[in-house]
Chains A and B, each alone.
With several copies, the nearest count.
Chain A
Amino acid sequence: MIKRRFVSPQIVQKIMNSILWASGILTIIILIIIIGYILINGLPVINLQFLTESPIEAGRAGGIAPMIVSSIYVTLTAIIVATPLGVGAAIYLAEYAAETSLIKVIRFTTQTLAAIPSIVYGLFGLAFFVVFCGLGFSLLSGGLVLALMALPTILYTAESSIKAVPESYREASLALGATKWQTIYKVVLPAAAPGIATGVILGMARALEEAAAVMFVVGSATDMPYTIFDPGRPLPLHLYLLAVEGISLKNAYGTAAVLVILVLLITITTNILIEKHREKMMGR
């Protein structure tokens, strides 16, 4: 075959190789610099006191214990509400629904829910949970808003991991005389568990990082909340207020670092758990 080009593909290959390496490394460096910057400025602020004390003078001094507790409350509420809904819907979509128009509607609805800006959820939470349902400014209202936001993520991830379970598992189960639900419950869901867990984690991460949606619904009390009916101030909102209201830049860095570390911890532990589970299931 005759070559009809001035620059040989091999040369192009070399050039593209360099471009890809360069852009890959550059992107990664930029992203890591940001984390590094936050951690370098924030880590020195973090100590036991910072983590276990309540803020003094709206956060000018003292710690962020109530914010950590608030974050835990709203995130857990969100996950506890969103997971059964999301996984249930995912099972329905993946296992029961033929491609009917209902499914198309649900699919589009899910997409829409995923795309709605968090601030709109915030307004909805204010009008619906806080006022209409009478839940008031509380961590419960915040958690419910976050549940709505986490729902599409959990649903989508769970659905695709359920669909990824090999058909052969289902057939094996059915061929042994299992009913459809037994098959789903005992074979499909365990096999899809790592994927579903990833979805739940992603949903959790989304709930943990959200400030705008809870801004108008949790009240931003700095007191230690005792129940989810109390108002509170999750970490991201605290960070926003600290940074923007200029209460304390130093504590803002500390709060940001705590958030970054929390996200890191969640990602790493879940990765390890999922790997463990996979090992147990697959024997590798």
Chain B
Amino acid sequence: MYRIETEDLNVYFGEDHILKDINIKIKANTVTAIIGPSGCGKSTFIRTLNRMNDVIPNFRHEGKVYFDGKDIYDPDVDVVELRKKIGMVFQKPNPFPKSIYENVAYGLRIHGVTDEEIIRKKVEESLKAAALWDEVKDRLDQSAFSLSGGQQQRLCIARTLAVEPEVIMMDEPCSALDPISTTKIEDLIHKLKKDYTIIIVTHNLQQATRVSEYAAFFLNGELVEYGPTEKLFVSPQDKRTEAYITGRFG
């Protein structure tokens, strides 16, 4: 069984047809890269997978999205539970206007953990997993805004890890980061791969080849090509894929 599977998924924002007949099957514990030029629907796609698009007033979808075999748009699905299981990291680092510590603790607190000792441990653990602990351990009380962009992004990853999701989706997590931060986050993805199913949106094709096992190329809301990363980059089946990966646009 696939962890995530879509069947003829179509997404509309009001009149606009944003995603067209998307069929994709994602195995557990793999890293899938979503690539494609700006505006092709990458973000919309992953936001459909954890029903984040529900907050957009005129969002509408057709088709099915299965998570562990269950359609997540079924009326009896608990969205809160779903989002707990499918964590998400956004393109722009978006820490809360709270302290570093409270940012990571946030997820635990809302899920009912009150024992401060457990929270403290989990915060440390998550920050370590996100390769941020050493840099912030002496300033956990400081505002998250005092961190650099790369650190903020890793903080957001730590915040996501803290609630122990099964899937982590990242929307261009490195696009605003410097080389060193980028390297750190890529290393992190390598480390997380064995425990989590990871979906990463990126505009950096080299990054896609470095971190992912599968790659999906979106264009104008269509899934043009999907398969093992190496195959997609070395011998693309579709002309448009080839044009894109050779840098003819985007």
- Please give the residue numbers on chain A whose beta carbons come within 8 Å of chain B beta carbons, in ascending order: 1-5, 8-10, 13, 98, 166, 168-179, 182, 186-187, 190-191, 280-284
Contact = CB atoms under 8 A, between A and B. Distances in A.
A169 B57 CA distance: 18
A176 B96 contact: no
B80 A9 contact: yes
Contacts of A191: 96-97
A10 B97 contact: no
Interface residues of B, number: 39
B143 A176 contact: no
Nearest to B89: A175
Interface stretch (B65-73, B110-118, B128-136, B224-232): B110-118
A51 B88 CA distance: 59
A174 B55 CA distance: 9
Nearest to A185: B110
11 contacts: A4-B114, A172-B96, A173-B96, A174-B83, A175-B83, A176-B110, A176-B159, A177-B80, A186-B109, A187-B96, A283-B146
A177 B97 contact: no
B156 interface: yes
Given A175-B90, A177-B107, 11 more contacts: A4-B112, A4-B115, A166-B94, A169-B94, A173-B106, A175-B88, A178-B80, A187-B106, A190-B97, A281-B98, A281-B145
A3 B96 contact: no
Nearest to A166: B94
A172 B90 contact: yes
Interface string B70-82: 0000000010111
Contact of A177 (B92, B95, B111, B113): B111
Given A1-B111, A169-B96, A281 B143 contact: yes
A202 to B, nearest CB: 23
B143 A175 contact: no
B204 interface: no
A197 to B, nearest CB: 15
Contact of B80 (A166, A168, A179, A190): A179
A176 B142 contact: no
A5 B112 contact: yes
Nearest to B118: A4
A4 to B, nearest CB: 5
B160 interface: yes
Interface in B147-180: 156, 159-160, 163-164
Contacts of B52: 171, 174-175
B84 interface: yes
Contacts of B78: 10
Given A177-B163, A190-B98, A172 B156 contact: yes
A176 B94 contact: no
B90 A168 contact: yes
Contacts of B156: 172
A145 to B, nearest CB: 37
Contact of B57 (A98, A173, A182, A284): A98
Contact of A186 (B55, B82, B106): B106
B11 to A, nearest CB: 17
B146 A177 contact: no
B145 A284 contact: yes
A172 B94 contact: yes
Contacts of A166: 94
Given A10-B80, A191-B97, A171 B90 contact: yes
A281 B144 CA distance: 8
Given A9-B112, A176-B87, A177-B83, A282 B143 contact: yes
A190 B97 CA distance: 8
Nearest to B54: A174
B110 A4 contact: no
Given A281-B143, A283-B146, A176 B84 contact: yes
A107 B82 CA distance: 36
A196 to B, nearest CB: 14
A283 B111 contact: no
Given A169-B94, A169-B96, A172-B90, A283 B143 contact: yes
Contact of B113 (A4, A98, A174, A281): A4
B247 to A, nearest CB: 28
Nearest to B55: A174
B32 interface: no
A267 to B, nearest CB: 24
